[in-house]
Amino acid sequence: RRVRIDVVTIFPGYLAPLREALLGRAIEAGLVELGVHDLRDWTHDVHQAVDDSPYGGGPGMVMRPQVWGEALDAVLAAGPARLVVPTPAGRPFTQATAQAWAGEERLVFACGRYEGIDQRVVDSYAARMPVDEVSIGDYVLVGGEVAVMVMVEAVVRLLPGVLGNPVSAQEDSFSDGLLEGPAYTRPVSWRGLDVPEVLRSGNHAAIARWRRDRALERTAARRPDLLDALPEDALDRADRAF
Ligand SMILES: COc1ccc(Cn2ccc3ccc(-c4cc(N)[nH]n4)cc32)cc1
């Protein structure tokens, strides 16, 4: 299954890293098609203006609807797609979102800058296609480009053939609802710190138990919200020790 990803931005160079390494190889392998478009290609004035002052006042500038409309009409002319607009005010982007989008044929990302894009752009496209306004976390970025990099990486790694070791959905971290525990490799002793004995014991039941305990411990310490969200039957008696 191929996915076509288009990104519209005033900083196309910001998306260059998507063509490196793993994702770059996925593009070369034809598993993903990536198109990055400069929003200013759809301006007609000498200053290539893409922003203007906000109605109602307030700080900063807002991105003009006309330019976005022409750009998205052009990009979307290639066929139906899901339109994704990163914003601090969006619904949370989660692994479940990535899973859902990995099944899409086409994703179009609209990267805003300034204080965001005139709301009528989202409203006008939402009338004819799925439009998701999403946040990648509770912190404020300067534009949508970094958020798009995060989301594209989270989605593309789920596509068959992209990862060397295809991590099946249920094994992927965050899918058993707990955080990953600590990982170790050689040497067995490093700067006076040793690898936990159990991991070298060959006792696979004990190893599985130890890893689960470390995951529960870490989740309780760092993300108690994930523990609270676990379904009732997710923790067995041995788990409840934490
Ligand atoms: C407070 O209101 C603001 C509105 C916009 C901005 C700058 N900005 C412009 C476009 C754009 C797209 C996404 C994001 C973003 C997404 C997440 N999770 N954090 N920040 C930020 C963005 C700053 C603040």
pLDDT digits 0-9 by tens, 166-225: 766 545 656 689 999 999 999 999 999 999 999 999 999 999 999 999 999 999 999 999
Which residues sit opposite 138 in a β-bridge?
A: none
Q: Are 132 and 126 contacting, i.e. CB atoms less than 8 angstroms apart? A: no
**Per-residue pLDDT tens over the stretch 76-127:** 999 999 999 999 999 999 999 999 999 999 999 999 999 999 999 999 999 9
Q: Which of 104, 172, 176, 180 is catalytic?
A: 172
pLDDT score recorded for residue 175: 60
Distance from Cα 86 to the centre of ligand 1, integer Å = 7
Establish whether 88 is a catalytic residue.
Answer: yes
Q: What is the mean pLDDT of residues 40-46?
A: 97
Active site includes 228?
no
Q: Is 172 a catalytic residue?
A: yes
Q: Strands 51-52 and 62-63, how do they pair?
A: antiparallel
Residue nearest to ligand 1 atom 22, measured at CA: 143
Helix (H, G, I), strand (E, B) or coil at 240: helix
User: Atom 4 of ligand 1 has which residue's CA nearest to it?
Assistant: 115
Name the token pair of 186: 């050689």
Q: How far is the C-alpha of 216 from the C-alpha of 210, rounded, in Å?
A: 10
User: 130-179, pLDDT tens digit by residue?
Assistant: 999 999 999 999 999 999 999 999 999 999 999 987 766 545 656 689 99
Asked if 102 and 3 touch (Cβ cutoff 8 Å), the reply is yes
Contact (Cβ atoms closer than 8 angstroms) between residue 27 and residue 7: no
Residue owning the nearest CA to atom 5 of ligand 1: 115
Q: Is the dihedral of CA 165, 2, 130, 54 positive or negative?
A: positive
Backbone angles phi, psi at 109, to 5 degrees: -105, 130
pLDDT digits (tens, 9 = 90+) for 51-66: 999 999 999 999 999 9
Summarised one tens digit per residue, pLDDT across range 233-242 is 999 888 988 7
Q: Which pLDDT score is estimated for 174?
A: 60
* Atom 11 (ligand 1) nearest CA: 143
Residue from 140, 142, 148 to probe ligand 1 pocket by mutation (most atoms less than 8 Å from CB) = 140
Strands 32-38 and 131-135: unpaired
